[in-house]
Chains A and B, each alone.
Chain A
Amino acid sequence: MEKGKGVMGAGRRWAVDFSDNSTAPSSRDIPDPPGFTRASVDQDDSAVSRQKKDAEANWKSQKAWEVAQAPFKNLLMMGFMMWMAGSTVHLFSIGITFSALWQPISALQGVGKVFEPYKDNKVDLLGPKLLFIALNLGGLALGVWKLNTLGLLPTHASDWVSSLSPAQEVEYSGGGIPL
């Protein structure tokens, strides 16, 4: 990330631009030194910069893939935590489960932001993004599964009938032992 920032070169107070390839001497205050031909340097420079740009793109896509794979580690850790929490409902297990649900959801919301630094015309971000989304969905599924093992999902009949009022009876009968 540090390197990437350097390449970006934003927020500097001053800078010398060595790759100035404008040919018109009038644009400069200082004339070119004798024996310096701008054209040849320009040619050389363009080759170098192309090379550089390719490297950067490569590097960006590599990074993007890395970022996309990051939730996997998270997933493993979450799984371990859940296993530690056990399957009874108490504060700890509920906290774990809800953080396991919340992390993927917040990550999915910020998918665009995560991959913004690697945005490039030459870099194809679709693959990493899909992987990232898939892994987070996996995390979400893990959270839901945990919720279910805790018995907090209304998937049983008992969850829907527990407040079902008794059926009315059509007939009515009273009486008993004579007074």
Chain B
Amino acid sequence: MAIRSFFLFILFFSSSLSPVFSLYEDQVGLMDWHQQYIGKVKQAVFSSQRAGRKRVVVSTEENVIASLDLRHGEIFWRHLLGADDVIDGIDIGLGKYVITLSSGGSILRSWNLPDGQMVWESSLQGPKHSKSFLLVPTNLKFDKDNVLVVFSNGRLHAISCIDGEVLWKKDFEAESFEVQQVILPPGSDLIHVVGFAAFSQFEMYQINAKNGELLKHESASFSSGFLGQVSLVSTETVVALDSTGSILLTISFQDGKISSQQTPISNLVEDSLGPAVIIPSSVSGIFAIKTDAVTIFIRVIGKGNLEVVEKTTHEIAVSDALSISEDQQAFALIQHASSEIHLTVKLAHDWDGNLLKESVKMDRQRGLVHKVFINNYIRTDRSYGFRVLIVMEDHSLLLLQQGEIVWSREDGLASIIDVTTSELPVERDGVSVAKVEHNLFEWLKGHMLKLKGTLMLASPEDMAAIQSMRLKSSEKSKMTRDHNGFRKLLIVLTRAGKLFALHTGDGRIVWSYLLRSLHKSEACQSPIGLNLYQWQVPHHHAMDENPSVLVVSRCGPSSDTSGVLSFVDTYTGKELSSLSLDHAVVQVIPLPYTDSTEQRLHLLIDADKHAHLYPKTSGALSIFKREFSNIYWYSVEDQNGIIKGHALKCKCTGEVADEFCFDTRDLWSVVFPSESEKTIATVTRKLNEVVHTQAKVVADEDVMYKYISRNLLFVATVAPKGSGEIGSVTPEESWLVAYLIDTVTGRILHRVTHHGSQGPVHAVFSENWVVYHYFNLRAHRYEMSVIEIYDQSRADNKDVWKLVLGKHNLTSPISLFSRPEVITKSQSYFFTHSLKAIAVTSTAKGITSKQLLLGTIGDQVLALDKRFLDPRRTVNPTQAEKEEGIIPLTDSLPIIPQSYVTHALRVEGLRGIITVPAKLESTTLVFAHGVDLFFTQLAPSRTYDSLTEDFSYALLLITIVALVAAIFVTWRLSERKELQEKWR
């Protein structure tokens, strides 16, 4: 009895502990990894600080400003400006402030160089939108105050470098004036602002840098107009192209007088080249023009005499000028040659002499050099050494010095477009054993350490060694499939058109591949990658084939340009094949059927609403024919507010007979009234989601049948007025309508209006529920709503005997054309954070309870139990409901600090959260990506199907041994006693 009550106590105690999913400090990094990136570098400024650590400050296309260690490429500090706060220029002022100009030239900030703290921020307004320029003159002083010159929004500002105060400003209000260059000659007090006006007018303003006074205004007319940018060749000369792109205009404005000279390009180069563009460069005396095939460097001699210095057909990149002494400027030039790049550093006035000429072996998967930044240092023998920072086509950043790559950063991973996963190869025999034997001593040492740790004999150094051993466990980074399914490959497609395979164990890059189909070519001018799909996932029939992914890309930004398909092997990272399609790709529909080699059937919809079946094999076609009448598709035209449903009709009636092409016909359409509703979000269930059961057992052993359909679409619309920013409308004129639409029949299953609410809407659909997040204008708070949908027509199936004997039709296939009787339950709650992304955990069998993963505005991922978003919550749940696990209703959702999945880390610029089921039912893998990457494992109901990592095997072993010993001893004792009894 005593034992019973003791067990009772234990049971009570363990059940009263609320589930906490937080980590202990020493568990950080065991199952998660975090990688920091910055994105494709736009501009780099080297810190000229003599003392201290060498660093380079960069701004990137992901709107990051970062200070990088020049020795190792690590990030000292980093700031991510908002998505609409695009960086226009950066520079270093006074050697200790990083000055950034952003938001179209309207925000100027100063950051402390050593630690990245913001010093000041100024808002620069102006009369109209214009190009923006940031100039940091070294010797322009104003009452001992260093001055920054900023041109933005049609206004020239002089700003104090110390506190960001505007010293003077000058407007350029002329209606059509378009600024092209702002020039501040070193050692002078004059600022030259040059630009075009009214298409063919060249304007020059001379301004006193001390007080902003307009000294001179000259203009000259050029009847042929201008094309594109101008290039500055000296402080008083610019070069421009005329509107035909065939005549070079050399315009000089010495002493405030405009003089010009016209040189047809054909005079310089014999063969005709077609239209050219000027490549902006700041090297004095030299500029470059580029046509389709060649790049030409031209030197300006004297007053407007031009001379071709070099003509090259190689891809070439030029750096800005770097002044190495009073009158000498150097610049770097990078040329491609098959698998190498040639770096040359030249002096500006001496084209033929090279200061430096080096060849560096370059990985082909990095593509072309896009940008070059040059910096010099003084060698021990007092000569100049040069280092260059190069930005490659795949957005990676490399530092070259003395003919070697010193470090490289894979910053393409900062802009991930799409993610999918792939299994690793199955383990072959004998691979792991050899590894263990090889390190037998290490292995023994490790176990001795662990034993010491368990017996609490370890010193702090030993503890540190144990911890690092746990983190570097080779088990988790093996290249083979594991029993629990934790090890996988994450296949990511980046904006640069490169595929990376990341290992889930430690996040290392297993392979990377720059898609050839995404290279610029004759047929494909500006290819962009769109999406990734799992093409072949062998598991039953084709076990010896490698899995592969399908990359869908398109030749241009508009939706009617032709598409390109690439198939990439996920084990080797090699492109298996690539298809240039003769039709556009508007939609890709993965079908739930696979052919005999486990290739998934895909339906590609083109701009004319023809459906094309891939793979183009007869086997796939016969499978498709069998399911032909059951395949539908729908399109959401969010501009017109129409959702249309289509069915497949017959073979294409085109001029070319193509048996894989099908015509479609319209079936239904849902038209939202354009004056009152605008579509802002659509969500469907994930195709690969597994649902365990259709029944939901509620209190008192009652059953509700979930309405589970793959073909449900959640649509959120808002009032057109309220589609802007939060707070731009009053609650009365804003509303949000949520729909649940059956995409086969077009039937609207549910519609609910939230008055006084506004977007943006983030939603996630899973099983039979949808959760969405929006802003409530009346309450001035964010809200989250849940809609659960149940099938009422099945609710009568309550006869136990029928169920026992299996005489029911609950699992027989159903057609959506039979009218479903559904009921919905919904509830809304306040939520503190605004969201960037939302996802839901997914597990292998769908038994484990679900958690919502919310990407908060603070770039963290918060896990929230689905139980909190249960429409059956009431203020006072009955005893039976409490037993079922229903939480008493509260008006807002709790934020438990321990349930931040990302613990202390931030996934800067969070864009998406992907969940992948592991083989172990309790566990799901979570990958969050933005500028940073973060990966972890989650167990929403804790790891009920495996022992936790901190389970004490030693204790278990000791207990077993002690028990066996005790049994043996008592047995011997009892035998002896029995013998004595018998002798008595």
Contact = CB atoms under 8 A, between A and B. Distances in A.
A176 B798 CA distance: 38
A172 B710 contact: yes
A59 interface: no
Contacts of A179: 530-531, 552, 554, 559, 585-588
A157 interface: yes
A155 B692 CA distance: 22
Interface residues of A, number: 32
Nearest to A170: B815
A173 B815 contact: no
A173 B634 contact: yes
B4 interface: yes
Contacts of B5: 92
Interface in B10-53: 11-12
Contacts of B684: 176
Contact of B638 (A91, A95, A167, A177): A177
A35 B410 CA distance: 131
A170 to B, nearest CB: 5
A162 B800 contact: no
B692 A165 contact: yes
A157 B799 contact: yes
Contacts of B708: 166-167
B474 interface: no
B589 A174 contact: yes
Contacts of B797: 157, 161
Interface in B778-836: 797-800, 803-804, 810-817
A166 B708 CA distance: 7
B965 interface: no
B669 to A, nearest CB: 13
A44 interface: no
A154 B803 CA distance: 11
Contacts of B803: 157, 160-161
A158 B701 contact: yes
Given A158-B702, A175-B587, A179-B530, A90 B813 contact: no
A171 B695 contact: no
Contact of A151 (B605, B701, B744): B701
B631 A169 contact: no
Given A91-B8, A172-B591, A178-B559, A167 B694 contact: yes
A160 B559 contact: no
B592 interface: yes
Contacts of B554: 179
A126 interface: no
A173 B632 contact: yes
Nearest to B602: A174
A163 interface: yes
A178 B608 CA distance: 12
A156 to B, nearest CB: 4
Contacts of B12: 90
Contacts of A176: 587, 634-636, 682, 684
B743 A173 contact: yes
Interface string B558-590: 010000000000000000000000000111111
A15 interface: no
Given A157-B797, A171-B744, A172-B592, A92 B693 contact: no
Contacts of B627: 172
Contacts of B645: 173
Interface in B680-702: 682, 684, 687, 691-695, 697, 701-702
Contacts of A92: 4-5, 8
B711 interface: yes
Interface residues of B, number: 66
B140 interface: no
Contacts of A167: 694, 708, 810-814
B559 A159 contact: no
A92 B812 CA distance: 42
Contacts of A155: 800
B591 A160 contact: no
B635 A172 contact: no
B800 A160 contact: yes
B635 A178 contact: yes
B944 interface: no
Most interface-central of B645, B812, B813 (chain A CB within 10 A) = B813
A168 interface: yes
Contacts of A178: 559, 586-587, 635-637
A174 B633 contact: yes
Nearest to B586: A178
Nearest to A174: B589
Interface string B600-623: 000101000000000000000000
Nearest to B646: A175
Interface in B695-733: 695, 697, 701-703, 706, 708-711
B744 A173 contact: yes
B753 interface: no
Contact of A171 (B552, B632, B701, B804): B632
A165 B744 CA distance: 22
A81 B704 CA distance: 36
B814 A158 contact: no
A95 B4 CA distance: 9
B851 to A, nearest CB: 21
A168 B709 CA distance: 9
Interface string A70-97: 0000000000000000001011100100
Contact of B709 (A91, A162, A169): A169
A90 B8 contact: yes
Interface in B522-568: 530-531, 552, 554, 559
Most interface-central of A92, A158, A171, A179 (chain B CB within 10 A) = A171
Contact of A172 (B8, B631, B636): B631
B710 A169 contact: yes
B682 A162 contact: no
Contacts of B291: none
A1 interface: no
Contacts of A157: 701, 703, 797-800, 803
B7 interface: yes
Contacts of A151: 701
B630 interface: yes
B632 A160 contact: no
A179 B590 CA distance: 14
A158 B702 CA distance: 6
A16 interface: no
Nearest to B667: A173
Contacts of A174: 587, 589-591, 603, 633-634, 687
B636 A173 contact: no
Interface in B385-410: none
B710 A163 contact: no
Contacts of B687: 174
B885 to A, nearest CB: 14
Contact of B693 (A90, A165, A173): A165
Contacts of B590: 174
Interface string B622-656: 00000100111111111000000100000000000
A155 B800 CA distance: 7
B694 A158 contact: no
A175 to B, nearest CB: 4
10 contacts: A91-B8, A92-B5, A159-B701, A164-B810, A165-B693, A166-B694, A168-B814, A169-B815, A174-B603, A177-B636
**Which 8 pairs across A and B sit closest by C-beta, in order of nearness?**
A174-B589, A160-B803, A156-B701, A173-B632, A161-B695, A175-B634, A166-B694, A158-B697
Given A160-B804, A173-B631, A176-B587, 6 more contacts: A161-B703, A164-B695, A167-B812, A170-B813, A172-B711, A175-B589
Interface of B: 4-5, 7-8, 11-12, 530-531, 552, 554, 559, 585-592, 603, 605, 627, 630-638, 645, 682, 684, 687, 691-695, 697, 701-703, 706, 708-711, 743-744, 797-800, 803-804, 810-817, 883
Interface of A: 88, 90-92, 95, 151, 154-179
